[in-house]
Each structure stands twice: as structure tokens, then as C-alpha cells.
Structure 1
Amino acid sequence: MLCNDTAPHSDDTLGGRISIAREAIGLSAEQAAERLGVLPSSWNAWERDRDVPRANRLAMMAGVLGVSPSWLLTGLGHGPLAQGPDDDPAELRRALRRAEEEIEVLNRRMRQIASRLEGEAVAQP
């Protein structure tokens, strides 16, 4: 079942939501850090709210954890999948479509940014 609450999650910190999402997919902090390509100490600092990931890391982290970046930041949006025997295949397909749509939005944004950077490189002597 997909957690898609309209109210913020009861754990109202970024670190708390990172931890909840990581646990929902059954990863240790070390495994999650390895998947993201960061040191476990960085991941642990993020979960404990002692530091925050940069925006690009946050977006990649959301992908690793299977949640939306907005859910990580605010608790609103597409949260972690709760694993269980009652997973509804139709809901999982809808979640997959929403994730694909989010990826397409991010890809368009990345292309826009890359295009602007290329334009700046051409304009500079």
C-alpha cells in the first residue's frame, strides 16, 4: 500500500522521513549509503538531522528510497511503499505510473538546465 497522505508524516523531520523510507525498503543505513554513493557517516548524519543532503543528492536519494523528493522534504506527496501481503497490484501499477511521471518531469528539468548551461558556454568568449 502506498503512503500518500495529505498531512505531513508524524515524524516531521527530514532525517526521520529518510529513516522511515529506508526501513520501509529493508535497507541498512550502510546499504543505502552505498547505493547512493556516499559515506555511511554522511547518511547517518542526514538521518539524525545533523546535516542535510544537497539538492542533487536529495533527488537521487528519493529515487533510491522510492519516494518523492517533496515527501522527503515536507512529508507531503508519495511516501514509502509499505511492504505486505495485501499489496494491491492495481495500486502498485498506479504508483509506478506516478513515479514514471515524476522521472519525466525531472528529466525535462535536467534537459532545460543543461540547455541553459550550454547556452552560457557558447555566449562566453
Structure 2
Amino acid sequence: MQDTDWYGPDVATLGDRLAAAREAQGMSQETLAKNLGIKLTTLERWEDDLSEPRANKLSMVAGILNVSMVWLITGEGEGVGNPEEDTTMGADFTEILAEMRALRVQIKARTDKLGQLEKRLRQALKEAAL
């Protein structure tokens, strides 16, 4: 489990990375929202991956949290390190975290496949209508 990139593109989302960078700075959601001049609910939606910041706000977030915009978007580049592994955690806890990360990767792959199928279906329907 130690080789896992917790914030890589196949494991974490923009919201995950945003929350991790904010927490690494010891900043509350309320403080970050205030510094960005946005509503708390807006930041919560970003961290929950229900919406995404515009480019200008993304740039501000990266600057405030001292990470690169590329890292926030893709998980690659300068960001925050993996959380320290807690040696007091039981094996069960560690296994559950590993299984959750593996499941997230599977869900992302299935979501990508679903998007491809929807695109093919739209194209087939469009061609059938002609």
C-alpha cells in the first residue's frame, strides 16, 4: 500500500485533491471560501465533485494552497504528498482503505466505458434518423 499515489489521476478526483491541499495547509472550508470570495456551499460542491471551479478561481485556489493547477486537475506535478501511514492502524483498516481505492479505480473505468457507450448510442441514433 505504501506505493499508492493517493492523489493520482486513477485514484483521486479534483475534489479529493482540493480537500487534501486545503487540509495540508491547515485551512478550514470556511476560511478558504472567504479567501476566494465564494460561498461555503460552492466550495463544498467543488470538494464533493458536484461542480468545478472556473479557471480564474482554480488559479486562485492553487496559489492559496501552494499547489500547481495541473496537480489539482490531474494529480500530476507539484501537490501534497501522500498522508503518512499511521502505524497504529490495524490491518483491517489498511485493507479497507486499499479496497476502497481499488473500487474507486474500477468505478472510474466503468464510468468512462459508460460514457463511450452513450456516445456510440447517440451516434447510432443520429445515423438511424438520417
Instruction: Establish whether TM, by shorter chain, passes 0.5.
Output: yes
1:20-75 CA distance string (max 9 Å, x none): 00000001111111111111110000000000000111011100111000000000
Give TM-score, length-normalised by structure 2: 0.54
AA in 2 matched with 1:53: P
CA distance in 2, matches of 1:40, 1:51: 13
Residue in 1 that maps onto 2:50: 50
CA distance in 1, matches of 2:11, 2:65: 16
Residue in 1 that maps onto 2:74: 74
**Aligned residues with identical type, % of pairs:** 45
CA distance in 2, matches of 1:18, 1:67: 9
Larger radius of gyration: 2
Structure with bigger RCO (C-alpha 8 Å, 6+ apart): 1
Residue in 2 that maps onto 1:38: 38
**Number of residues paired by the alignment?**
79
Question: Which consecutive aligned stretches of 4+ in structure 1 deviate over 3 angstroms post-superposition?
Answer: none
Q: 1:51 to 1:10 in 2, by over 3 A?
A: same
Residue in 1 that maps onto 2:125: none
AA in 1 matched with 2:24: A
CA distance in 2, matches of 1:76, 1:9: 7
Structure 1 unmatched ranges of 5 or more: 83-125
1:76-106 CA distance string (max 9 Å, x none): 0000378xxxxxxxxxxxxxxxxxxxxxxxx
AA in 2 matched with 1:50: L
Structure 2 unmatched ranges of 5 or more: 83-130
CA distance in 2, matches of 1:79, 1:8: 10
SS in structure 1 of the partner of residue 51 of structure 2? coil
Residue in 2 that maps onto 1:104: none
Q: 1:64 to 1:11 in 2, by over 3 A?
A: farther
